[in-house]
Amino acid sequence: MVSTMKKDISERVIRELFSSAGVQIDGENPWDIRIHDKKAYRRFLCEGALGFGESYMDGWWDCDRVDECVDKLLRVDIEESVKRNWELVLHVLKARLFNFQSKGRAYEVGERHYDIGNDLYKTMLGDHMIYSCGYWKRTGTLAEAQEAKLELICKKIGLAKGMKVLDIGCGWGGFARYAAERYGARVTGITVSKEQLRLGKEMCKGLPVELRLEDYRNMTGKYDAVISIGMFEHVGYKNYRTYLETVDRCLLDDGIAIVHTIGRNSCSTSVNPWFHKHVFPNSVLPSVAQIGRAMNDLFVMEDWHNFGPDYDRTLMTWHKNFEDSWPELKHKYDERFYRMWRFYLLSCAGAFRSRDQQLWQIVMTKRGRAQPDNRVG
């Protein structure tokens, strides 16, 4: 009787909470949720984001438009309405006590996420192999949006022939290849992914590009520009100052730096537990305040450009590519992976659509140098 009562209470609470966001259980709208296993209610209530994502992976619920569902739930801050259980509280406490992004853990995200298969990323990301937000201003395709983003960064750093650039978190070398081919720049790129490095070296063969398997904290040398595109999310709040001190150490006095990163609207010390467990281990999104504190007395902030809504469109395009390619991929990846990856892409799209997450390009220079005359946007 007690167990049945708990289940009934969980269902009633979840129905009321979701209804307040305009999401109905077993409703007729594409963003409504269809429950296949009633144990999902208690899992939503007790485990929050972790239980919501894992129960989808397990097939306990479905939704025609997960992106729209997440968008609606985030707009009313649904997670704050659900009391966290001790497991989630412990996750937050661990993040505060331990440095999940230490040198010893630096390569974990490479092994568990970026190394899962270049075949998957080729089909999802397209020919440029750029795993970060495109810039869709005056563009119509993913390839055009990614080129526009790369060109935007090149203009912001005033890239010219012969300039030396350090690309921290270079991925498959997409920026390095673009900068070398279009501008004649000399690029050093570092990654923590063996698979990214292997394919990146092939893609940049014959160009003035050096790609390495390296943690950013080990970098030395001097560069005209230091950039990172979609890497700062893996740095961790305990290491923001260390990261920017590394940039300062490697940047020439008259150089320029760019951090292209996803950001959040409030300070946090831990990542969404579902993403930590299944997608991006040890990753956490920075806030304006956290980045600002880390920059203190090191850099002048020249420009802070937000085009977060462009990530919604980027993610929806990646999702379409993934869905279209699934018949060729499913021999290697099982059904649970398919649901996990689908939930990852669509829930992220919903997060950007709701403005819960942002995409920032932050331009920085060293103190004392003249303001660069290359402000674009």
The first and second tokens of residue 127, run together, are 């020919």
For residue 368, report the phi and psi dihedrals to the nearest 5 degrees.
100, -15
Task: Give the C-alpha distances (Å, rounded to integers) separating 55 from 43, 156, 344.
Answer: 7, 43, 13
Are the beta carbons of 280 and 109 closer than 8 angstroms? yes
Asked if 69 is an active-site residue, the reply is no
Are the beta carbons of 274 and 50 closer than 8 angstroms? yes
Cα Rg, the chain, nearest whole Å = 21
Q: What is the distance between the alpha carbons of residues 123 and 31, in angstroms, rounded to a whole number?
A: 27
Given 133, 170, 250, 348, the catalytic residue: 348
10 Å Cβ neighbour count for 368? 8
- 105-366 maps to CATH 3.40.50.150: yes
Per-10-residue mean pLDDT of the chain, 377 residues long, equals: 56 89 96 96 85 95 98 85 44 42 45 68 93 96 98 97 97 97 98 92 97 95 98 92 97 98 89 85 91 96 97 98 96 93 97 97 95 75
Domain with CATH 3.40.50.150 in the chain: 105-366
pLDDT at 172: 96
Which residues lie below 8 Å from residue 364, measured CB to CB, with a gap of 6+? Answer: 247, 256, 257, 258, 259, 295, 299, 300, 301, 302
Task: Give the C-alpha distances (Å, rounded to integers) separating 187 from 191, 196, 298, 329.
Answer: 13, 16, 24, 33
Scanning the structure block, which residue is given the tokens 């900068």? 179
pLDDT at 85: 39
Tell whether pTM > 0.85: yes
Pairing mode of beta strands 251-264, 223-229:
parallel
Q: What is the distance between the alpha carbons of residues 43 and 11, in angstroms, rounded to a whole number?
A: 10
For residue 215, report the phi and psi dihedrals to the nearest 5 degrees.
-85, 140
pLDDT at 1: 40
pLDDT at 82: 55
Return the beta strands (E) in 175-310 as ranges.
Answer: 186-191, 209-213, 223-229, 251-264, 299-306
10 Å Cβ neighbour count for 16? 10
pLDDT at 280: 81
